[in-house]
Amino acid sequence: MIVSKSFRWSEPCHALLMGAALLATVTQAHGEEDNVLDTLQLHGFLSQALVITDDNDFFGPSSSDDGSLKFTEIGANVSLRPHEDVLIAAQVLSRRAGGDGSEASPELDYGLIDYQIQSNQQRNFGIQVGRFKNPFGFYNQTRDVAFTRPSILLPQSIYFDRTRSLALSADGVLSYYEERLSQGTLRFQAGVGRVQAGDDLRRTLRLDRIPGDLEPDTSAIGQVRYEHDGGRVVAALGTARVGASFESHTPGLSDGDFYFNPWILSLQYNAEYWSLTTEYALRESGLENFNDPRFNFDATGESWYIQYTRRFLDDWQWLVRYDSLISNRDDRSGKAFEAAGAGPAHSQFAKDMTFGLQWTPHPRLLLSGEYHHVDGTGWLPAQDNPDPAETSRYWNMLLFQLSLRF
């Protein structure tokens, strides 16, 4: 878990990087056998997508005649190993995903010091201090790099883009342990820190219309993962306890609290030319302690997808996926939600059938295209569709993306 503020780096992160620089200086001053600068690595990536929808908007005015080009990801990362047991790494990310483009300002995606307490052929054990990516599902820790994704969009039932900040990262401490067994590898990660509670979360909770501040509380996350037979079979189980406090600036309205407690089970089978992946999640979330009961709610959502990918001709891959999101297991159709006047029933679920194709003509170039047929609007970004009543239940989406890395 890692938290980021806009490229005005927060004081803890500034102190972290200052400490990292000092550590590197001290190490050099004592004279390592190998030149520290020989371990310096710089990498970057850029992705630009075109999004076209027949109804509703996704990442900008995608339902207009020309579609939307407001889905851009640009990142640069650096790593340095001042000591064989110490790694310093950071990445800056500029990401535009619809809206007015203000979110494209560079942010510290992660910035950490990784200290390996023990590292040998049998096991690895260490800690990371700073801003780290949350170990959530299969793809969260690398979700911003297009080359690591099986499709342009990850399954939105699990890897929400409408509340991306909540699951992305946190500021704190993450410990990791890896044990190599006779038939596989067992990995465990556990972290404590302050998660992000960005504007996307406020919009989804409909707190953006109320004067006040939403500040993250100290949260915890953990994942255990087992890879069998060199990664032929991969299984993971993760959970988190995430919280944030809303300080009301509205007379007569008390402060409130947000909580999010997910469980996610991940399974994958990898053959030579194909992979089958599925993930299932239960998500308990809600608002509480407001003196106005209209703001309080408690719901357990359900998410799952099943995905088949096939590799062919060395540099091609196609994908088919079914993705299901239910916002409230006690109101799967959303009819009770609509009857209460909270919004249309179809805003409480989404069933997405996806077909995708990727071509990698060069290791540094990726061309992708995919088609989505969606029933429901449960994961539509609120910033692109401010009035849920004007959205359509059934809609289609085409995406094309060009990605580069160096």
Q: What pairs with residue 112 in β-bridges?
A: 89, 130
| In contact, 16 and 112? CB cutoff 8 Å | yes
CA 280/CA 301 separation, integer angstroms: 11
Question: Rounded to the nearest 5°, which phi and psi values hold at 165?
Answer: -60, -30
| CB neighbour class for 188 (10 Å; exposed up to 12, middle 13-18, buried from 19) | middle
Residue 46 is encoded by which pair of tokens?
A: 């850029």
Contacts of 350 (CB under 8 A, 6+ apart): 156, 157, 323, 324, 325, 374, 375, 376, 377, 378, 379, 380
Nearest one of 42, 66, 41 to 53, comparing CA atoms: 66
| In contact, 99 and 228? CB cutoff 8 Å | no
| In contact, 316 and 274? CB cutoff 8 Å | no
Q: Strand 365-376 and strand 394-405: pairing?
A: antiparallel
Where are the domains positioned within the chain?
11-405
CA 187/CA 236 separation, integer angstroms: 9
Matching residue, tokens 């209460």: 340
Tell me the CA end-to-end span of the chain in Å, nearest whole number: 26
pLDDT of residue 15: 44
| In contact, 253 and 292? CB cutoff 8 Å | yes
Q: What pairs with residue 313 in β-bridges?
A: none
pLDDT of residue 102: 59
SS (H, E, C) the chain: CCCCCECCCCHHHHHHHHHHHHHHHHHHHCCCCCCHHHHCEEEEEEEEEEEEECCCCCCCCCCCCCCEEEEEEEEEEEEEEEECCEEEEEEEEEEEECCCCHHHCCEEEEEEEEEEEEECCCEEEEEEEEEEECCCCCCHHHCCCHHHCCCCCCCCCCCCCCCHHHHHEEEEEEEEEEEECCCEEEEEEEEEEEECCCHHHHHHCCCCCCCEEEEECEEEEEEEEEEECCCCEEEEEEEEEEEEEEEECCCCCCCEEEEEEEEEEEEEEECCCEEEEEEEEEEEEEEECCCCCCCCEEEEEEEEEEEEEEEECCCEEEEEEEEEEECCHHHCCCHHHHHCCCCCHHHHEEEEEEEEEEEEEECCEEEEEEEEEEEECCCCCCCCCCCHHHCCCEEEEEEEEEEEEC
Tens place of pLDDT for every residue, the chain, 406 residues? 433 333 333 444 444 444 444 444 444 444 454 578 888 999 999 999 999 999 999 999 999 888 999 999 999 999 999 999 999 999 999 999 887 655 678 989 999 999 999 989 899 999 999 999 999 899 999 888 999 999 999 999 999 888 787 888 899 999 999 999 999 999 999 999 998 877 778 777 888 788 888 888 899 999 999 999 999 999 999 999 998 888 888 888 898 889 999 999 999 999 999 999 999 999 999 888 898 888 888 899 999 999 999 999 999 999 999 999 999 999 999 999 999 988 999 999 999 999 999 999 999 999 999 999 999 999 998 889 989 999 999 999 999 999 999 9
Fold of the domain spanning 11-405? Porin (2.40.160)
pLDDT of residue 100: 63
